[in-house]
Amino acid sequence: MRIDRYISKFEGLSRNYSRSLIKSGKVSVDGRVVRDPSLHVEENANVTLDGSRVIAFGMIYIMMNKPAGYVCSREESEGPTVFDLVQERFSYDLSVAGRLDRDSTGLTLLSNDGLFVHHVISPKKTIEKEYLVQTVKPVTPEQIEAMNGGLLIGRGEFSKPVSVRTLGENSVEIILTEGRFHEVKRLMKASGNEVLTLHRSRIGGLSLPGSLKPGEWANIGEDALKIITGAE
Ligand code: URA
């Protein structure tokens, strides 16, 4: 397959945009920068765009450092969405694997692979999500103990975190495997405290890299998927 078609097909980009990326030296094949859009490559070649592996066969997996103020849903009509941050590059039908609230920040996964999205969010798969929370009031040992024991968080729902620990006077780390609506906020409230800021720092074995600034995103390769899901 021609390299311009390869980039266009597997990154969901227009052919013209693919060509301009190739000509500007952003594409490598097996470690060598290529500038000729007509070059032929095998589908299993190691093709990178901006240093990230291009995953052939149409599956896109993105990790993003979600900034505050962006929603993870296309349905909510108000305000910018996380999809706006990637839409220039991707025409694929991406979904978010584990939504964050508008005011929450941090690690957000987007993919067009429905099975992967389901795997990440399914409570049955018990993939850990780690949250760093700044609290309104100082955190007490009783609150930590109550959250670790599990609490009723309203609407007849019970939340039992994997672990909750104090990080500072007004900050805690909460690890959950479920992703109930507003779960961290409702858990904090049930313990007698309140969330001031909420940041997701890890999903499964994938931690948000410090190099990824708010609003930035990167393609993640198959190895990262294995780290997230623990799958072989
Ligand atoms: N729990 C919440 O309350 N909000 C989030 O954004 C994520 C988890």
Domain positions in the chain: 3-53, 61-123+206-229, 128-203
Position with higher pLDDT, 138 vs 228: 138
Give the CA distances from residue 52 to residues 29, 55, 60, 154, 217, in Å, rounded to whole numbers and listed in that order: 11, 9, 12, 43, 11
pLDDT band at 117 (very low <50, low <70, confident <90, very high): confident
Say whether 17 sits in a helix, a strand or coil.
Answer: helix
**What is the distance in A from the centroid of ligand 1 to the CA of 40?**
46
Query: What local confidence, expressed as pLDDT, does residue 58 receive?
Result: 66
DSSP letters of 46-66?
A: -EEETTEEPPSTT--EEEEEE
pLDDT at position 224, please? Answer: 67
Atom from ligand 1 closest to the CA of residue 176 = 8
Structure tokens at 137: 């009031």
Domain 128-203 -> CATH class: alpha beta
CB 101 near ligand 1, within 6 Å: yes
As annotated, the active-site residues are 101
pLDDT of residue 33: 96
β-partners of residue 172 are: 133, 166
For residues 111-129, average pLDDT: 85
pLDDT computed for residue 229 by the predictor: 72
Question: Quick count: other Cβ atoms within 10 Å of Cβ 30?
Answer: 11
Domain 3-53: give its CATH architecture. Answer: Roll (3.10)
What residues contact residue 3 under an 8 Å CB cut-off, 6+ apart? 22, 27, 29, 34, 36, 37, 38, 39, 40, 41, 47
- Which stretch of 21-35, 66-80, 180-194 has the lowest confidence by average pLDDT? 66-80
Question: What's the pLDDT score for residue 231?
Answer: 59
Non-local (6+) Cβ contacts of 65 within 8 A are 105, 106, 107, 108, 208, 212, 213, 214, 215, 216, 217
Q: Do the domains spanning 61-123+206-229 and 128-203 agree at the CATH topology level? A: yes
Q: Is the pLDDT of residue 53 over 60?
A: yes
Give the model's confidence band at 90: pLDDT under 50 very low, under 70 low, under 90 confident, else very high: low
Mutate to test the pocket of ligand 1, among 64, 175, 185 (most ligand atoms within 8 A of CB): 185
Q: With 90 as the cut, is the pLDDT of residue 226 above it?
A: no
Please state the rounded mean pLDDT for residues 30-35: 93
CATH number belonging to the domain at 61-123+206-229, selected among 3.40.47.10, 3.30.70.100, 3.30.230.10, 3.30.70.580: 3.30.70.580
Q: Which amino acid is at 158?
A: F
Query: 80 falls in which pLDDT band (50, 70, 90)?
Result: very high
pLDDT digits (tens, 9 = 90+) for 216-225: 998 886 666 7
100 lines ligand 1 (CB under 6 A): yes
Whether 91 has a pLDDT exceeding 60, the answer reads no
Tokens of 154: 């309203």
